[in-house]
Amino acid sequence: MLRKKLVITLTTAQGSRQYTLGQLARYLIALFLLMAICSFFVSNLLLVKTSDELDSLEQGINSLSSQYEMTLGTQELQKGQLDQLSSTLQELKVERDKLQEENLRIGELNETLDASLFGLEDLLGLPPSKSMTSDRADALTVMTNQRLFFLSVLPNGEPIDGLRINDSYGMRMHPIRKKKVMHNGIDFKARTGTPVYATADGAVEFAGMHKSSGFGNLIILQHALGFKTYYAHLSGVKVKSGTFVSKGQLIGLSGNTGRSTGPHLHYEVRYLFRPIDPKPFIAWNISNFDSLFSEVKGVKWASLRKMYPLNQVLETAQQ
């Protein structure tokens, strides 16, 4: 019976004590020890497995962290690209708005230019065009420059401002000689000292007192193509012989010098030393340009048309 019992002896300072365990208790202790040993090994296995899983999880976390940082960098890059694209689009919008404004301005300029060219046709005394083409515009420009050239070098317009005509060109009763004689010019009634202007570009042939003719103070201007103009009975002379003058330039002051019955300006137009009626030249301007060539009969205009084709450029453009 004793072999089937387990005796446990505990020794303390007070002495030794013995405990006797039965067979069942031994089995329970053995089972407990076995379970403890198994639990130890199982726990170690689980701990190793858990450690491996934690390492794997840590690696995954590190990988995710790297991917997250990479994603953040990519987002920052994309944000920078989006900001740059937005800035570029804004600049393009500004440029587009500028282009639209420029197109509108160009359109307005073209309309204004077309209106000006149509107005130029009216100024030139031409029939209106259905449309303003570039060829038509070029022809109008050539024609305008051509007319302006002739209007600058040939006598035209009044030599004195806004004053009435006393005597015209032609036969008249001379106020001093008391008989009919040829009056070679036009007399403009004017107060002494009224400004007198050159009616075309030219050179001063004579400027001063001309006693033999009775013109008193006289200015003679030489112009292109054989024309001359005379300005007589002046109270003052503002130019010198041998100098050049331009159309509209002040050349003298009206007066009553020489054989004269009152202050006025005697104005003549001569062609190759022969007096011709100044009236068509006074009325001549850019709108009635062709009128001079039909009204003034004493000049061989046909030879001038051969030298300068005049309106042929425009006539060609109209065909």
**Which has more pLDDT, 167 or 75?**
167
**Which has more pLDDT, 231 or 21?**
231
Do 196 and 288 lie in a common domain? yes
Under DSSP, is residue 276 helix (H, G, I), strand (E, B) or coil? strand
Does some domain include residue 247?
yes
Does some domain include residue 25?
yes
> Average pLDDT for residues 64-74, to the nearest whole number?
77
Please say which residue of 53, 73, 93 terminates a domain.
Answer: 73
Q: Show Cβ contacts of residue 256 under 8 Å, excluding neighbours closer than 6 positions.
A: 192, 216, 233, 235, 262, 263, 264
Measured in residues, the chain has a length of 319
- Tens-digit pLDDT profile for residues 274-306: 999 999 999 999 888 888 988 998 898 888 877
**Which has more pLDDT, 231 or 95?**
231
Does some domain include residue 17?
yes
SS3 labels along 236-258: EECCCCCCEECCCCEEEEEECCC
Question: Model-level pTM?
Answer: 0.61
- Tens-digit pLDDT profile for residues 168-209: 898 866 666 666 788 899 999 999 999 999 999 999 999 999
The pLDDT value recorded for residue 178 is 67
The pLDDT value recorded for residue 56 is 80
> Average pLDDT for residues 149-177, to the nearest whole number?
82
- Tens-digit pLDDT profile for residues 104-150: 554 444 445 445 655 666 666 666 666 666 776 777 777 788 888 99
Please say which residue of 73, 102, 128 terminates a domain.
Answer: 73
Does some domain include residue 135?
no
Please say which residue of 47, 73, 99 terminates a domain.
Answer: 73
Count of domains forming the chain: 2
- Tens-digit pLDDT profile for residues 5-17: 666 676 767 777 7
Supply 40's token pair: 């130890």
The pLDDT value recorded for residue 316 is 44
Do 166 and 266 lie in a common domain? yes
**Which has more pLDDT, 177 or 34?**
34
Q: How confident is the model at residue 83 (pLDDT cuts 50, 70, 90)?
A: confident
- Residue 318 pLDDT > 60: no
Does some domain include residue 143?
no
Q: Show Cβ contacts of residue 279 under 8 Å, excluding neighbours closer than 6 positions.
A: 168, 169, 186
The pLDDT value recorded for residue 2 is 44
Do 198 and 223 form a contact (C-beta atoms < 8 A)? no
Do 170 and 133 form a contact (C-beta atoms < 8 A)? no
Angle between helices 134-153 and 23-123 (to 10 degrees): 40
The pLDDT value recorded for residue 97 is 73
> What gap in Å lies between CA 256 and CA 264, rounded to an integer?
6
* Consecutive H or E run containing 21: strand 15-21
Does some domain include residue 126?
no
Does some domain include residue 186?
yes
Does some domain include residue 8?
yes
> Average pLDDT for residues 60-71, to the nearest whole number?
78
Containing structural domain, residue 177: 156-292
Do 67 and 170 lie in a common domain? no
- The CA R_g of the chain, rounded to the nearest whole Å, is 59
- Residue 18 pLDDT > 80: no
Tell me, what amino acid is at 223? H
Under DSSP, is residue 268 helix (H, G, I), strand (E, B) or coil? strand
| CATH number, position 169 | 2.70.70.10
> What gap in Å lies between CA 302 and CA 293, rounded to an integer?
9
State the chain's mean pLDDT as an integer. Answer: 80
**Measuring CA to CA, how many Å separate 130 from each of 114, 121, 167, 205, 287?**
11, 12, 46, 49, 20
The pLDDT value recorded for residue 319 is 44
> Average pLDDT for residues 246-267, to the nearest whole number?
94
Do 180 and 278 lie in a common domain? yes
Do 67 and 171 lie in a common domain? no
